[in-house]
Amino acid sequence: MEKIFNGQVALVTGGSFGIGRATAIAFAKRGASVVIADLIEDAEQVTMKEIAAMGGKAIFVPCDVSKAADIATLIDKTFSTYGRLDFAFNNAGIEGISAATHECTQENWEKVLAVNLTGVWLCMKHELSHMQRRGKGAIVNCASVAGLIGFPNLGAYVASKHAVIGLTKTAALENAKQGIRINAVCPGVIRTPMVDRITGRDKVAEQRFIEMEPVGRFGEPEEVAEAVVWLCSDAASFVTGHSLTVDGGWLAS
Ligand SMILES: NC(=O)c1ccc[n+]([C@@H]2O[C@H](COP(=O)([O-])OP(=O)(O)OC[C@H]3O[C@@H](n4cnc5c(N)ncnc54)[C@H](O)[C@@H]3O)[C@@H](O)[C@H]2O)c1
């Protein structure tokens, strides 16, 4: 694979598992040095080992994206290790507890918004101040098809993902003349630990999700990762403020 990101640095939040893991590996395959930030360090260190096996460079930084101090430390660690930041995939997110709007607890509401929305904002706040100094950079925020349509019993999640899209558009406009592009991806149903938690790996529950997908299957984390690296690449040089569905055609139906 062509090393289009040689000498450049990519930060991926939520990089221990799922879509974040696949994206960290996709950046490394193209020659980027990677910073993996996550609440949990995968005990088997799959992401780190895969990157090392391909001769790539990666560091792990423990971090809760909803905590301002953790994000400040994360960015400091990125600069003390690699001295630059070119790309960021603000991906860490949680599904929260399924409940109708009137039954959602304040605790669930605040937790989901803190990770999915405040986390993305805090990451961008710190990433942008460095990218603005260099006049260059690309950020991708992880939204969801739930950022574009409603889902019963997922009010906090849906609200957080709609807000991520609004924030992405706003930050993209603010930075459009400064050489920094900011986009979002909106995955459909992707086979990750998050979806395994939701379905309990129950075949009937999985089938219900598969039926929502016009292509008739789950997406794979690598298929979202490819969209993220494209959005960060020079091939997407005129793309900013966009929310790209990677959803097997779901929203076309
Ligand atoms: N899987 C899907 O079908 C799907 C669909 C649409 C959008 N998404 C979004 O994609 C992103 C990744 O989802 P996934 O399916 O890979 O989930 P996942 O649960 O499989 O992985 C999420 C990762 O984020 C980390 N994380 C969770 N809370 C964190 C925090 N506070 N600080 C730092 N790291 C934290 C987890 O440890 C994990 O490594 C999320 O934003 C999710 O909302 C997923």
205 part of a folded domain: no
pLDDT in tens, 123-168: 999 999 999 999 999 999 999 999 999 999 999 999 999 999 999 9
217 part of a folded domain: no
pLDDT in tens, 159-169: 999 999 999 99
For the chain, which ranges sit under pLDDT 70? none
22 part of a folded domain: yes
Contact between 34 and 61 under an 8 Å Cβ cutoff? The reply is no
Rounded to the nearest angstrom, the distance between the alpha carbon of 192 and the centre of ligand 1 is 8
pLDDT of residue 243: 98
Rounded to the nearest angstrom, the distance between the alpha carbon of 187 and the centre of ligand 1 is 11
CATH number of the domain where residue 157 is located: 3.40.50.720
Q: Is 157 annotated in the active site?
A: yes
**Joined tokens for residue 198:** 């939701």
Beta strand 33-38 pairing with 137-142: unpaired
Cα-based distances in Å from 24 to 127, 133, 176, 226, 241: 17, 24, 25, 11, 22
Ligand 1, residue 161: give the atom nearest the CA. 43
**Which of the residues 5, 82, 109, 157 is marked catalytic?**
157
Question: Total structural domains in the chain?
Answer: 1
208 part of a folded domain: no
Give me the domain span that covers residue 112.
Answer: 9-188+222-241
Where does residue 237 rank: exposed (0-12), middle (13-18), buried (19+ CB within 10 A)?
Answer: exposed
Where does residue 220 rank: exposed (0-12), middle (13-18), buried (19+ CB within 10 A)?
Answer: middle
Q: Could you give the CA distance from residue 141 to residue 123 in angstroms, rounded to a whole number?
A: 10
pLDDT of residue 109: 98
93 part of a folded domain: yes
By most ligand atoms within 8 Å of CB, the mutation choice from 39, 70, 111, 194 for ligand 1 is 194
Q: How many CB atoms lie within 10 A of CB 152?
A: 9
151 part of a folded domain: yes
By most ligand atoms within 8 Å of CB, the mutation choice from 192, 195, 197, 217 for ligand 1 is 192
Residues near 232 by beta carbon (within 8 Å), at least 6 away in sequence: 5, 10, 27, 86, 87, 89, 138, 140
Residues near 45 by beta carbon (within 8 Å), at least 6 away in sequence: 60
pLDDT of residue 240: 99
Pocket of ligand 1 (CB under 6 A): 13-14, 16-20, 38-40, 63-66, 91-94, 115, 142, 144, 187, 189-190, 192-195
107 part of a folded domain: yes
104 part of a folded domain: yes
Work out the widest C-alpha separation in the chain, in whole angstroms: 51
pLDDT of residue 145: 98
Cα-based distances in Å from 173 to 72, 142, 179, 223, 228: 24, 18, 11, 27, 19
Q: Could you give the CA distance from residue 7 to residue 3 in angstroms, rounded to a whole number?
A: 9
